[in-house]
Structures are given as structure tokens and as C-alpha cells.
Chain A
């Protein structure tokens, strides 16, 4: 909580948004206005550190899938899978097909659940209800009122069934525990398979329905299309994403591909090579680091080909890939690029921050289709091949998956007994840290200017800049009745309140 005694330099005013809300994790925004009322500078600060990298040291490496999953209780599967893959590498374990498929299946079902909650409850209300609509209704409750209980019921069902699947695989619906070095802790039984297939079938229908809803509500509305295409939400950055051997998007496995702002491949690397490509910067005003592309270098918080800032979002994954691995998602991919760049091949990247929402819906459908494909594979219920026993001497390993909010890298070094000596983690949202700071500043600069009264609607449009990146637990929003006040005070440099906007 910012102290009321915090000093603002003479000649400037400060707008503090503290804490940033409806965001996964802690954050605050300080916007500094000059005397004209224009934005001079803007800081997005992350006020927290837990130190996982250090206290993973000394732990048996096979425990890390269950320790690091507590980095994020919203996407515990992402950490569990990246960690298990790093453990496989530590032990040099070669996984059987069934084990690999079970991991990818569980991971894709998780993806559907995670993307759905973000689209319907967090990002969606800004569009369904309108960016500057009555804030009391700009949440899932409002959305239910507008689109009906039937849709809400589908969303709740998607979440509930997704978590039921998580529990079938991993015991617990939140923080499942089943990925181990060498595979999974248990086989999928035939009777469980039938239920999971039913869940996947529903999820494909749900994905189709979601994309249709996006078309009807967002893309059919000229104002929204204008906002997406011409609003202060645009950065030409590098794009990062995991791709398979055919350069198609894959969330669980493959190589990390990075393309430049024009779509040209900068690099494509396997997990063990990540350090040649990614470096992390430290700033004194935030606990969170700033990764950037080593080959391009850190040039500050700027976009463009000469800046090492990159993004790792659903949109970035589509940009970095040549297509999708399932038919309906591929059709949606082509439509996405044709609409936004005029070239359905996807060679020309999309850089509109708000269009990340659309890319997320395409990924949702892709994850559902991929899940259905995997659950129907005859080997998925193999009673033995769900794992191998680790029999080699452990040493070092790196595992990478695509978390819903960005490329996730786990790197462990162990002693010969498999006790962790060093752990390095580059986490999903961290990839986007510099870009999120830039997007918030760009939105603030584009919306708050001389002569403009800072209204609640404008503040919400600043918040929309980061909301596009961050899935968060939007689902929670549907439990929020009534007024959701937000108070922003603009203070003179000496601390006197100049104006106050509330909702």
C-alpha cells in the first residue's frame, strides 16, 4: 500500500492505482502527469517476491513438480508439467508414448478451463458490456444478464468438468500432484477414459460456441473493431511460442520459436539452449525481472525490431507458428490473420494487444480438439506405459511448456542423488513484463491528455491494456454482485488531492 507521505516531484501529479485488481498476482500503477496534464511517465510495479529459486535448493528433484506448482494456483498444471519435463531431462528418462500423451492430454484440458475463465469473466465483460459501461454491471453478473443464464451455465460447466478431469488425473482439482520424473503416477483406467472423452467432446462444442460468441459480440461491432485496430493498444514486438516439428502451435512440447516484428524467424531453440537466447534484467523499482532477447539486447522499454522486448501471449504463439494442429482451430487461425493482416498464411504477425483475446479463443478450441484427439488414441489407457522408472544418475535438465500466459522454463542442476543444487525459472507472465509496462503506459498516454477529465471509463480502458495479457481468475467475478467501487485520487506534488474519480 503506497504510503500517503510518498513524495511527488514538483511540477508533477501522481495517479496511483493500488492494488491493480482483477489481475493474477500483486501489482500497482503509478502514473505521473506533467503540468499540462499529459502522462510524463508511468510505472507498473510488482511488489512481491517469494524466492522459489533459492528454496528449491536442497529439495529432492522429484518433489519440484509439486513444490513449483505452488508458484501459481491458477496454472499449477503449467509448472507441474514444465517441472516434470525438467526432471525427465535430469534423469535422462525417455518417456513412452502413453506417458507423453497423458501429460499432453491433461495439459490441454487444463488449457481449455484456464482460457475459458479468462475470456468469460475477465476480458469478456469489457466487450460484452462495453469498455465504459456501468462498472457495476461490467462483470460476469452483467454478462449473464445480457447473454442469459444458458451461457453462464455452460461456462460453469466447463470449469467444473475441467476440474473433474484434473482430479481424475491428479487427485486434487486444484494443484494436481501426478506428474513425476519419467511420466505420470498412475494409468488412465478405461472407465475414466470414457468420462474424459465426454468432457473433451463437450469442450470442443464449447470452443466452437465461444468463437461464435466472440464474432457476434465483438467482431460484429464496429466500435470494438475500431478500438482493437486503432486504439492505444499496439506494439510491434518480437513474438515467442512453442512449435512442433511442422511449426504448428503446441502447448506441451516442441521448440521455442521467435519471430521478429515482420514475422521473420529470429531463432528456434530446444530447451537446453534457452540461455543462449534469453537474458533477464533487474530494475530497482520492481521485484519482478525483465527477460529480453539476448541477440537483440536490452534497449529499454521500447518496441520494434531493435529492441529485445518480446511477447509470449496467445497472439505471440499464433504469430510464431505457421498454423494449428487441429482442423477447426486452423480455420480460425486463417480467419484471424486474414482479418487482421490480410494474409491468411499467418506469415505477417498481428501486433494489436486487444486482439490477444481473439487468439486466446482460437487456442481454447485448439486445446479442446487436441484433447479429444489424444483421449481417442488406443494407447492412452495402456496399463504399464504411463511411466518409466528412473534408473540413470541425475545431473541437469531443462523443461519448457507454454503456460497460458507465456513460455515457461524450468532449469535444475542436481547432485548424484537427485538433490537440487540450483534452480532457475523463467515464468510465463515474466516474459511479458516489459511489454505489459509499455502497454499500460501507451494506454495511459493515449487516453489521459491535457484537457481530458480522468473518468472511470478511461481508467478502465487503461486497465484493459494489461487485462489482455493476463488470464487471472476471472471466473471469480461471477460471484460479485452490486457496485465495485474504484477510487483514484490525483494528487498535486505536495500531496493535496486535486481530483477524485470513483465508480
Chain B
């Protein structure tokens, strides 16, 4: 805490989209209350603190640091280590820092394949000399550096000790505000390795207002190919909604727009692997009495990997392709 009695807070974005930073602003006018009790000492998207400045802070200088985004390159790991040293409490903020998020779908691909799409084979690229970004490059003026691209998206807790995690893509404002109030009021749960806060212990289905007719799934289909019935459970209508295998806390907002749950709040409280949790849930929901019938239904699922692990591939038991 600073001499002025205020908390020192930081926020960093790594392999992320900026939506987490925006989500912090979603607390709206309440942010005026926040700045009465907290000073920002690092927040690249919004304030002019440089890495050198942070490196000069004493260890443990930052009371609470929110790190959003996964760890995709050497710089993001370096900053994670720097912020761990400089922070009393380090929070993995959002789906990417906690479980890899959408960018972790790239773990299904090799670096060579990613570079090929980005720098060679895509149709608008003109690159006859097959130039690729180099982490070190000599110019007549001196060396230029960019970070090394890692073979996979790692979670924050894969590289440093994490105290808490707030799930969501992005975390919803009311949950964020409750968490901030708990931190400011000292009402945080005991510091624990990557303990999930800012969410509830149920699953999204428990927050969803759509009617469940307890009808078993007789076929899988896709939402743009028919008009789903309003106010009726999408999963029972054959749309692969991740609600049963996704932690609650968001308020089932996507379902209110007649869109299936994508799973952004990550695995349920007692599961590490969201895909396994979904397969378990489907086991009781399929209209299949034989193994063959179950197999037939499962084969109707378009892209099971990318659907079950849309936001949590870095936490999955599946192997990374190197």
C-alpha cells in the first residue's frame, strides 16, 4: 500500500484481445469509487508506465496485479516473471490467462503451419523471398529484437505461481466489481494456488432461464440451419450448448441472445478438463440406448475439439502438436 493509503494495482495484457481491459471499464461509474482507493502503477493500454519503470519497483511493490492473456512468446513469460516478483497478489484475469482462451486453439497447429498461413500461403501475401519475422536481426544501425514465438499457448500458472483466477471471455462487470470490493475490503478468500473467484460453483444451465422439457437429444444440428424455438433449451433442440460443462457466473448472457453457451467461463468447479466434463454431461442427455446409436449421434458434432475446448485448450488433457 502506498504512503497515501491507497492500493497499488496493475494490469497487463499478454496474448489477448484487449476485451479484458475493456471489461474492467465496464464497471462504469463505479470506477470513480475505485480510483479513490487505488492507484494504477502499470497498465500499458491506458497509462505510460514502461517495462523499465516496473523493473525499478521494489519487489512486492504492486498490491494486486491482473494479468490477462495467455503466454504465447518469450516476452509474455518475461513480463509474467517480472510482475510475479513485483506483485504481492497476482491474478490471472479472464479465460486466456486461466485456460488459454481462444488463441490456445492454435495449440492444434505447429509454428511452421501458423507461419505458413500468416506469412506465405494466404492469398493476399506477396512474399517471394519467403521472409519470416526474426527474433534477432542485424541492421546497419544495430540489432533489432522481437520476442520468440512459443510452440504453444501456456497458461499464466504454467510459468509462475498464481494466487487467484477470474474466468470469462471477458469476465462480467458485476463479478469483477464484487471481486474488487472483496480485495479492497480485505474479504478475499485465503490466497490459494489459482483459486477461481468472480464466478459461482454451479454450471451455466443453472443460471439459464430457457425451459428444459427434459427431452433427450435425438440429433445434433447447427443454429444457422434452422430457427430454434425461443425460450427452449438449445441443447434439447440439438445445438451443442456448452452450458452443462461451463462454470456459472456470467448470467447466461449468450443464451439471452438465443446463442449457445460457448464455454468461456471454463470447466465446472470440480473439473479441470472441460471436454471430459461435456462428454460426461452428454452421456446422460443423448437419446441413445445402444453404443452404435450414441456413436452415430456423436459423429454429427461438427468440430468436437474446437467446440469442447473453445476457451480451455491449454487446460485440456490433449497433447500439443509441436
Contact = CB atoms under 8 A, between A and B. Distances in A.
Interface of A: 1-3, 6-9, 12, 14, 17-19, 21-26, 30, 32, 40-41, 43, 45-55, 57-60, 62-63, 66-67, 70-74, 76, 87, 91, 135, 139, 156, 159-160, 163, 167, 169-178, 180-182, 185-186, 274-275, 278-287, 289, 291, 294, 298, 387, 389-391, 411, 417-419, 422-424, 426, 472-482, 484-489, 493, 503
Given A19-B44, A175-B169, 4 more contacts: A25-B18, A58-B108, A476-B43, A476-B46
Interface string B229-259: 0000000000000000000001001111111
Interface in B131-177: 131-134, 137, 139-147, 149, 169-170, 172-173
Contacts of A62: 222-224
A24 B18 CA distance: 8
Nearest to A489: B52
B149 A484 contact: no
Contacts of A67: 102, 105, 310
21 contacts: A17-B50, A18-B51, A22-B46, A41-B139, A47-B146, A50-B106, A51-B109, A54-B113, A54-B116, A57-B117, A58-B305, A58-B306, A74-B19, A279-B126, A281-B127, A283-B133, A418-B222, A419-B303, A477-B47, A480-B46, A482-B39
A53 B260 CA distance: 24
B141 A21 contact: no
Contacts of B258: 178, 185-186
B20 interface: yes
Contacts of A167: 253
Contacts of A391: 225
B207 interface: no
B201 interface: no
Interface in B159-199: 169-170, 172-173
B16 interface: yes
A53 B118 contact: yes
B195 to A, nearest CB: 24
Interface string B16-30: 111111111110110
Nearest to B54: A1
A175 B101 CA distance: 14
Interface residues of B, number: 96
Contacts of B39: 481-482
B47 A21 contact: yes
Contact of A285 (B133, B172, B257): B133
Contact of B126 (A3, A156, A280): A280
A177 B259 contact: yes
Contact of A1 (B23, B78, B142, B225): B78
Contacts of B5: none
Given A9-B140, A473-B18, A479 B114 contact: no
B84 to A, nearest CB: 15
Nearest to A24: B18
Given A67-B102, A73-B170, A282-B131, A478 B17 contact: no
Contact of B146 (A32, A287, A422): A287
B124 A186 contact: no
Contact of A73 (B17, B53, B109, B302): B17
B317 interface: no
Q: What 3 pairs across the A-B complex have the smallest Cβ distances?
A: A73-B19, A171-B257, A476-B46
Given A180-B224, A479-B31, A8 B127 contact: no
Contact of A476 (B17, B45, B305, B306): B45
Interface in B237-288: 250, 253-259, 262
A40 B29 CA distance: 46
B133 A284 contact: yes
A19 B42 CA distance: 11
A174 B108 contact: no
Nearest to A486: B48
A281 B127 CA distance: 6
Contact of B223 (A163, A185, A417, A486): A185
A292 to B, nearest CB: 9
Nearest to A176: B257
Nearest to B104: A55
B35 A280 contact: no
Nearest to B95: A70
Contacts of A481: 35, 39-40
A478 B101 CA distance: 28
Given A51-B106, A285-B137, A480-B43, A45 B144 contact: yes
Contact of B302 (A9, A47, A60, A422): A60
A474 B21 CA distance: 11
Contacts of A160: 28-29
Contact of B50 (A19, A182, A287): A19
B18 A73 contact: yes
Given A22-B47, A389-B227, A484-B49, A73 B21 contact: yes
Given A159-B25, A390-B224, A172 B141 contact: no
Contacts of A87: 224
B123 interface: yes
A191 to B, nearest CB: 14
A486 B35 contact: no
A418 B43 CA distance: 40
A480 B125 contact: no
Nearest to B110: A54
Contacts of A182: 224
A279 B128 CA distance: 12
Given A8-B143, A479-B34, A486-B48, A279 B124 contact: yes
Nearest to A170: B257
B133 A177 contact: no
B142 A6 contact: yes
Contact of B147 (A48, A51, A185, A476): A48
Contacts of B98: none
B105 A285 contact: no
Q: Which of B117, B257, B258 has the most CB of A within 10 A?
A: B257
Contacts of A477: 46-47
Contacts of B310: 67
Nearest to B11: A476
B142 A484 contact: no
Q: Which of B13, B40, B79, B146 has the most CB of A within 10 A?
A: B146
Nearest to B16: A73
Contact of A473 (B22, B133, B223): B22
Nearest to B120: A282
Nearest to B170: A174
Given A291-B124, A476-B45, A55 B131 contact: no
A62 B221 CA distance: 12
B21 A60 contact: no
